[in-house]
Amino acid sequence: MEKKHFLLLLSLSASTAAIGKAVLDRIKKDVDPNASPQWIDSRGIGVFISTDLPVAQIWRHAFPDSLTLDQRQHMKDLLIVQVGPAW
């Protein structure tokens, strides 16, 4: 199956880059070991991803059910956009 390319954008509400770093670590471990972060700071994260997984699977790997309430409260908005010639 051909890999698709995505841009994951996550807005954070707290002054911590640790949540963004944890998301990136999970993406690199479970979705795309070559995921390329465009930025990680206290306001958010932007990551380029190449995978044959559908968006729902990317979401599940980036935000597993095991996240604590505190971790979930620091995340404001998430957008995963497929990029490429057809988009």
Confidence check: pLDDT of 60 > 80: yes
Between these two residues, 64 and 33, which has the higher pLDDT value?
Answer: 33
- pLDDT value of residue 75: 74
- pLDDT value of residue 32: 96
Confidence check: pLDDT of 14 > 80: no
- pLDDT value of residue 12: 80
Confidence check: pLDDT of 51 > 60: yes
Say if CB 49 and CB 3 are below 8 A apart. Answer: no
Q: Rounded to whole angstroms, how far apart are CA atoms 66 and 44?
A: 21
